[in-house]
Structure 1
Amino acid sequence: MALVFRSTPLLWARVAAMVFTCVAFSVALYGASLTHGTGDWCIFCWSFSFAGTLLIILVELCGLQTRAPVSWKNFPITFACYASLLCLSASIIFPLFFLKGYSGRNEMINCRIVSTVFSCLATIAYLSEVSMSKARPGEVAGYMATAPGLLKVCETFVACVIFVFISEPVSYKQNAATMWCLSVYCICFILSAGIIVMCVAEWTGCLPFPFARFLSTYALLAVGMYLSTTIIWPIYKFDDKHGGSSRRPNACGSSMGLCPWDKTLAIAVLTALNFLLYLADLIYSARLVFVTV
């Protein structure tokens, strides 16, 4: 097994991302004094991204792409897109929970600042990798390298954040309308995740119907479902006539992180964001000529 080293901008973007994530979680573990589960999430984001990038670099240096049990046209860019979103979330959450309200420049604060800076640098590195790996107009590439494929990664990630906010505290059991919203989040997440898995595992040819037609049909249905949720959730959560609360409680100002009302608002914003992502997905899917290589 011979190592194949070719210096390319894509390789250096991956090396930079790997180094930045390594520094972020190493410094955080060394002296950031993380005290609750939010810090564990940030450590997971950085360490998972580091491990996956290291694996991709080793596979390509050893020339093992053809022996990998996944589509190498789809897997690296899918991972890079998820890693960029993970590092972005850590870059926002970490300073919000571990730098807000702290003053001075002792070792603990310095470590937290360093982890935040390198998390932001890792996000930029992963976004650069995605930009270099995505399909150009007229180029034959895997589905995940196209705009609809990358949009599905974003759709599933946003849905995961919604699940976190909607389940702690539980805010979907208010009535049948809010239960419908949860159903929309779950159905669309499962189908989008299933499409990603089929593309990465190269199972799209196993479907009894054309994959491109399925993508367009699903995108149309998802747009309609998310449109209803974008309207229903704010009505039943922020309209006083429907059991909601239009004013932010005063207690939210003194709470650490996001209070329940803030999380409800975040769900409304993320729902609207996912609606726009599915709308863009529908527009791209309707005109995309998908070529399986």
Structure 2
Amino acid sequence: MPVTVTHSTVTTTVASPTVIGSPRALTQPLGLLRLLQLVSTCMAFSLVASAGAWRGHMGNWSMFTWCFCFAVTLVILLVELGGFQARFPFFWRNFTITIACYAALLCLSASIIYPITYVQFLSHGPSRDHATAATAFSGIACLAYATEVAWTRARPGEITGYMASEPGLLKVLETFVACLIFVFISSPYLYHNWLALEWCVAVYALCFVLAALTILLNLGHCTNMLPIPFHSFLLGLALLSVLLYATALVLWPLYQFNENYSVQSWRARDVSCGDRNPYLVCIWDRRLAVTILTAVNLLAYVGDLVYSAHLVFVKV
């Protein structure tokens, strides 16, 4: 079934890949890769659940990650086995690569956060062995999802959906990093005393909403509803986000690590980091994590701005 893809003023028709709605789809390389994703995420949360080896916010995050990735991968496999892609409300390739990119980032975060905040504090025994094995399966799942992204993303010169291109994948990264920031600033005492810090939180929320809206517009084929050309919208959005995140990168560490604003500039002086609860991230570590993630997202938006400017100003 042909798919029409519109880029600025040029409309090109490309053929969608043939879909096989039969069990033979599982023997294809991409089907085998998704089976690996399904098994590895299932093993990860099963091992943790059987030993009760999760506690605290970060443990809940890891458990949610493995369950969510397993569920969406199972749905994708069932849709492909039934050959229901044409009835799906989204362009299938856009949807699957978006999910694969989110799943790769989620499993990567769980593979790092879970052993740091939980496994290292367990005493030697069956629970620790289960948790260590779950971490290994989480890493395998991350590699499997990342392989799918690399395999199905747009090649140079190929005309395809926006989410399979580098700017689309950057949008996924931007929203994911913003979600991590929200996890670390879930406690209002980190920012409610200063207007500058509340501005930073507003920046994170606004840029997340705009990036998520861009993803939804692409998945739903609604970009033509915008009053301006889509590439011009992307350029303006990327420029605005770069400017906003630049202010956040200056203000957040300035107010979070300066003793003139009644905060501890050194981790050793923060009483919340006294190892009273090893399964929770202390205040100073939260502040540092948000600073690093702000810098990461600023770099992502700069890359997005470069791609968007290229699409608008360079005639190919």
TM-score (norm 2): 0.86
Q: Give me the CA root mean square deviation.
A: 1.8
**Matches of 1:97 and 1:177 in 2, distance apart?**
30
| 1:80–1:129 contact (8 Å) kept in structure 2 | yes
Cα distance change on mapping 1:26 and 1:277 into 2, 3 Å: same
Cα distance change on mapping 1:223 and 1:36 into 2, 3 Å: closer
1:97, distance to aligned residue in structure 2 (A)? 2.8
Residue 17, structure 1, aligned to residue 17, structure 2: no
* Pick aligned residue for 1:188 from 207, 229, 249: 207
**Matches of 1:206 and 1:43 in 2, distance apart?**
38
1:73, distance to aligned residue in structure 2 (A)? 2.5
| 1:219–1:278 contact (8 Å) kept in structure 2 | yes
2:103 alignment partner AA: A
Residue 140, structure 1, aligned to residue 163, structure 2: no
Cα distance change on mapping 1:16 and 1:232 into 2, 3 Å: same
Q: What is the 5 A alignment of 1:1-293?
A: 3=22, 5-6=24-25, 7-104=27-124, 106-168=125-187, 170-248=189-267, 249=269, 251=271, 252-255=273-276, 256=278, 257-288=280-311
Which moved further from structure 2: 200-209 or 219-228? 200-209
Structure 1, unmatched stretches of 5+, are none
2:291 alignment partner AA: A
| 2:54–2:63 contact (8 Å) kept in structure 1 | no
Which moved further from structure 2: 269-278 or 244-253? 244-253
- Match of 2:93, SS state, is coil
| 2:38–2:70 contact (8 Å) kept in structure 1 | yes
1:37, distance to aligned residue in structure 2 (A)? 4.3
1:61, distance to aligned residue in structure 2 (A)? 2.3
**Matches of 2:259 and 2:58 in 1, distance apart?**
32
1:43 alignment partner AA: M
Task: Report Cα offsets for 1:187-221 as digits up to 9, x if no partner.
Answer: 10000011111111111111122111100111011
1:2, distance to aligned residue in structure 2 (A)? 5.2
**Matches of 2:21 and 2:195 in 1, distance apart?**
60
Task: Report Cα offsets for 1:11-42 as digits up to 9, x if no partner.
Answer: 22211111100111111111244344433322
1:12 alignment partner AA: L
1:68 alignment partner AA: F
**Matches of 1:2 and 1:97 in 2, distance apart?**
43
| 1:88–1:119 contact (8 Å) kept in structure 2 | yes
1:134, distance to aligned residue in structure 2 (A)? 0.8
Number of aligned pairs? Answer: 288
Which moved further from structure 2: 258-267 or 239-248? 239-248
| 1:32–1:111 contact (8 Å) kept in structure 2 | no
2:233 alignment partner AA: F
Cα distance change on mapping 1:187 and 1:37 into 2, 3 Å: closer
TM-score (norm 1): 0.92
- Match of 1:100, SS state, is helix
2:224 alignment partner AA: G
2:68 alignment partner AA: F
Cα distance change on mapping 1:20 and 1:221 into 2, 3 Å: same
- Match of 2:80, SS state, is helix
1:5, distance to aligned residue in structure 2 (A)? 2.4
